[in-house]
Structure 1
């Protein structure tokens, strides 16, 4: 029986050393999870009331340790590290696998993939650039130019907003307004607006003081014919009172082939008339030219945002993560991939930071959680076990040799 016991010990120790060797070999593999060996004793049968000697040992299981690895910063914004629980959900021609290796890039077809070409999945944005949670799909990065937006055509319809101060100390002007004669207006400023094709136009504004707390506003586009005068007024404390909502509608002809006239609201809400020099405090408008995708960024909740050359940003997709009640029930598929099994249970899918799922750190990777010092100690221990089991076989052989030599 000692031969069988020793042989089982040799086999078990050899497999344990294999596990340690695999851990050490993958100590530099991103997202790798170390494994350990669980041993079990072996009995031929169970006898009530008797003291039995076992017939050896066996490998009960090889368990991977899904503890957090160290996070290292990189220069690739699509290097994603999970800080906490969860796995990335990947699609390989529809076959779903799971991984902790977050080294991704965009392939020639515009999909976010790992080194093996498996596509990262998540929630996609709709035509209104709103991410809609639904069935996770392969994340596609659309590199087409961002469509321009005319000033005043945003869903909110904010148009052009200018905050300024008109000098209450200025003298009233009685001469007729002439755009080419600076003495016929008190102050002027300008702002850029955009038509439906994304062409930039210069809107010039001219302010003429007509009396105490009373002003006329003129505007023209690209040096064209000025608009008719619009009266504005302030109260004794310098706050704008006319128009009550601060809005002066604008309508200017354009000759670029875009929608004409270019119509939007000029909003002077917040403008004042104080005894201070003329000055513009703020200018904002909701139009923009077309733009090309210049970069990507990923937020902690997995939202992938595109940055465009016109200064705009758009939410393109959101990465999803999955977790399992029993991660050790996953089957290892190689290449840092795991597959779902009946033992692992069904995946619990959600966005990063929700439920028990961890958050994502962009431009970073999760290192292997292998502890080299511990693995080297384990290797020595299993080596000694192997030697000891070999010694039991040698001892049993010596005993049998003695029996054979009896005369």
Structure 2
């Protein structure tokens, strides 16, 4: 091989190592890029000539070539975030986003809700997931669209009242407990239970051992009507000499039950309200399953009458006030009525050969013939990793390693340049031989 060949070897070294420096520079410049995956340069030799001399065969190369770069998809460090829609994948998989033309894949989980209520990344690409309807996850991948999402109302079906009715009160003393109920269309109605200290009306509960309070349920005019024909809408509560609820009478003074306390049913007709609702049977939860009057905590102690607590199971319509993301990729909506509902489950993608993905910028990858087609499933399914809400996966660039590689590349570049200058000296000396 002539000296000219060594010049080409040196040039190939310069060219290859300069491309390697581009890869190193790309890695270092993306040290703070969320979800960035570093690359490693791959070199190959250039074969040129086979020289045969008798039984000895020599194979002479002609330098090196830059074959390409391989993406490193190892896990980056996880950092906490204050944004609930910032997400990181702990394990395998890529988030799926769509730009209107097709799907792309990313490990950068910086997502926001735009003005149209759609969840998108910082480049405007829309996050993809499976809609959850009535607790069931649909199997069609679609835009994660939270526009107009609200929590449907739930009509009240029961309530408990924590109150004390002062045993020392004179006959005729009244005490009112307001109870906010929700009708079938989601309107909140403040009903009232008015208690009036009464004279004992039955021998079953004599005044020597019991105190009696009459009660009546009412709702404001125009917001509904308490059904008068229902026996439990008014009546009497009777307490023993320990202040414990011991019996209930109907409005006519007939004992409904005694000792073994039962729940009452209050019927309210909301069809007369605006907007009209339905007629509701609402359970007044007075006792637990054993018949002991502890659930409602209505007592008759010799202490000032008061309302300790009111608990009911209805809630009005709620608007979206917050978002949380579970490890299985479920996006849960937090609503103004205190409810939480599953809205979407994220879809993740994985590839047989992720190193074959094509970088397209903005932390996005596109599938290629080398990567194979995506396998799409929910997080924590099969080999797919978990999704961590309010976190971000940082770049996996190892700065220390990059500087070491940069020094090696610099030395290789300098050595390649030395090949050229040395060969030039040899050629000059060869030319001078003829003088």
TM-score interval, normalised by the smaller of the two chains: 0.7 to 0.9
Range 14-23 or range 342-351, more displaced: 342-351
Question: Residues 307-345 of structure 1, C-alpha deviation per residue, up to 9 Å, x if partnerless?
Answer: 222222222212121122221011111111111123222
1:182 aligned onto 2:186: no
Q: Answer with 283-292 or 219-228: which moved more.
A: 219-228
Q: Is the 8 A contact 2:77 2:394 kept in 1?
A: yes
Shifted more, 273-282 versus 80-89: the winner is: 273-282
In structure 1, the residue matched to 2:250 is none
Partner of 1:155 in structure 2?
none
Q: Does 1:255 align with 2:262?
A: no
| CA distance in structure 1 between the aligned counterparts of 2:352 and 2:306, rounded to whole angstroms | 63
Alignment pair present for 1:34 and 2:38: yes
Q: Where does residue 219 of structure 1 map in the other structure?
A: 217
| 2:398 corresponding residue in structure 1 | 371
Say whether residues 1:99 and 2:103 are aligned partners. Answer: no
- The SS at the match of 1:44 is strand
| Counterpart in the other structure of 2:189 | 201
Q: Helix, strand or coil: the match of 1:51?
A: strand
Query: Residues 240, 45 of structure 1: CA spacing in aligned structure 2 closer, same or farther, 3 A cutoff?
Result: farther
Spell out the pairing of 1:8-407 with structure 2 (5 A cutoff): 8-44=12-48, 50-126=57-133, 128=134, 130-143=135-148, 146-151=151-156, 159-162=157-160, 181-182=172-173, 189-205=177-193, 211=205, 218-222=216-220, 227=228, 228-229=233-234, 246-253=263-270, 254-270=272-288, 271-272=293-294, 283-407=310-434
Cross-structure match for 1:156: none
Rounded to whole Å, the distance in 2 between the matches of 1:2 and 1:360 is 54
Distance 1:401 1:195, change over 3 A: same
- Matches of 1:355 and 1:213, distance apart in 2: 66
1:3 and 2:7 are equivalent in the alignment: yes
TM-score of the aligned structures, taking structure 2 as reference length: 0.77
Structure 1: gaps spanning 5 or more residues: 152-158, 176-180
Q: Deviations over 1:205-236 (max 9, x none)?
A: 3578962899876422248779554688999x
Q: CA deviation at 1:145?
A: 5.0
How far the C-alpha of 1:24 sits from its partner, in A, is: 1.1
Counterpart-to-counterpart distance in 2, 1:98 and 1:319: 13
Quickly say closer, same or farther: Cα 1:240–1:20, change in 2 above 3 A.
farther
Is contact 1:250–1:266 with CA below 8 Å preserved after alignment? Answer: no
- Contact 1:330 1:344 (C-alpha < 8 Å) held by counterparts: yes
- Over the residues paired in the alignment, what is the CA RMSD in angstroms? 3.5
Change (3 A) 1:44 1:230: farther
Following superposition, the deviation at residue 74 of structure 1 comes to 2.5
Deviation track 1:113-167 (CA, whole Å, cap 9, x = no partner) reads 11221110001122x3x2414021111012355443332xxxxxxx123165889
The structure with the largest strand share of the pair is 2
CA distance in 2, matches of 1:303, 1:317: 6
Change in Cα spacing, 1:57 to 1:399, as seen in structure 2 (3 Å) is same
Q: What is the distance in 1 between the residues matched to 2:239 and 2:226?
A: 27
Maintained 8 Å contact 1:160/1:266:
yes
Report if the CA contact (8 A) 1:86-1:358 is conserved.
Answer: yes
In 1, distance between residues paired with 2:377 and 2:311?
37
